[in-house]
């Protein structure tokens, strides 16, 4: 693949994209109670956006990580749990920490963060499994009348036909937040760069700094 087929993204650019989306979230009065980062690509954006969502006098928003990999990207390993046909769950919510410090996800505003929405398979899986998790908790605790609001934040949404959906209501109510919609090219993120100076220069040349 030549450099022209790739989009280089700098750390500065990512910082600014997180800032832009945080501003939108705060303007909509939808500051999340918890951020769920999809590892590993969602971790750095999740950490950055948390700072921009900080409100004086309020506690830092907790971040939990969930690990999802597409089947095709992994050599199968007996230590991971195979759930669907396409997505493998390598890490899930830390319920002990949630119970101890946070109550539960029920009735909360939950922001799910990943770096890129490519085929949408991963985001579909994350949203639908987390929704199921909450419904189970609601039944268990008899708290069926509390509404949990899931939002999604990605740095980049690739403009292409998707293989899976997100809830219509989420898309229509502005709770799907993609900082930029990009053509269907390979995105090179700075955390994967071997030479960060060269990477940053290439990002600058493409206007992604």
Catalytic residues: 118
Q: How many residues sit in the footprint of ligand 5GP (CB under 6 A)?
A: 13
Taking every pair of C-alpha atoms in the chain, what is the biggest distance, in angstroms? 56
62: its two tokens: 């907790």
Q: Does 187 bind ligand 5GP (CB under 6 A)?
A: yes
Q: How far is CA 112 from CA 7, 140, 161, 177, in A?
A: 24, 24, 21, 10
CA 158 – CA 162 distance, rounded (Å): 9
The answer to whether 33 and 53 have CB atoms below 8 angstroms apart is no
Rg of the chain, C-alpha, whole Å: 18
- Provide, rounded to whole angstroms, the least separation between the CB of residue 197 and ligand 5GP: 19
Q: Does 104 bind ligand 5GP (CB under 6 A)?
A: no
Give the residue with the Cβ less far from ligand 5GP, 138 or 182: 182
- Provide, rounded to whole angstroms, the least separation between the CB of residue 177 and ligand 5GP: 15
Which residues are paired to 66 by β-bridges?
38
Residues 63-102, mask of contacts with ligand 5GP (x by CB under 6 A):
-------x--------------------------------
Q: Does 114 bind ligand 5GP (CB under 6 A)?
A: yes
Q: Does 118 bind ligand 5GP (CB under 6 A)?
A: yes
Stretch that binds ligand 5GP, among 22-30, 117-125, 168-176, 195-203 (CB under 6 A): 117-125
Rounded to the nearest angstrom, the gap between the alpha carbon of residue 15 and the centroid of all alpha carbons in its chain is: 15
Sorted by sequence, the CB contacts under 8 Å of residue 1 that are 6+ apart come out as 186
The answer to whether 91 and 73 have CB atoms below 8 angstroms apart is no
- Provide, rounded to whole angstroms, the least separation between the CB of residue 104 and ligand 5GP: 26
Q: Does 153 bind ligand 5GP (CB under 6 A)?
A: no
**Under the rule (CB under 6 A), what is the footprint of ligand 5GP?**
41, 70, 114, 116-122, 186-187, 189
């Amino acid at each position: 693949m030549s450099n022209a087929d790739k989009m280089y993204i700098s750390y500065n650019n990512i910082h600014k994209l997180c800032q832009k989306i945080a501003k939108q979230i705060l303007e909509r009065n939808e500051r999340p109670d918890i951020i769920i980062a999809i590892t590993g690509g969602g971790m750095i954006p999740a950490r950055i956006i948390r700072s921009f969502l900080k409100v004086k006098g309020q506690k830092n928003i907790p971040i939990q990580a969930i690990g999802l990999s597409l089947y095709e990207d992994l050599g199968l390993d007996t230590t991971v749990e195979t759930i669907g046909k396409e997505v493998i769950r390598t890490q899930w919510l830390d319920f002990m920490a949630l119970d101890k410090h946070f109550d539960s996800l029920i009735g909360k505003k939950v922001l799910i963060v990943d770096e890129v929405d490519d085929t949408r398979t991963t985001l579909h899986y994350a949203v639908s499994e987390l929704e199921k998790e909450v419904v189970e908790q609601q039944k268990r605790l008899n708290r069926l009348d509390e509404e949990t609001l899931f939002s999604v934040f990605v740095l980049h949404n690739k403009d292409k036909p998707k293989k899976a959906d997100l809830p219509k209501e989420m898309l229509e109510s502005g709770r799907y937040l993609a900082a930029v919609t990009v053509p269907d090219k390979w995105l090179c993120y700075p955390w994967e760069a071997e030479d960060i100076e060269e990477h940053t220069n290439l990002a600058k040349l493409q206007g992604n700094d």
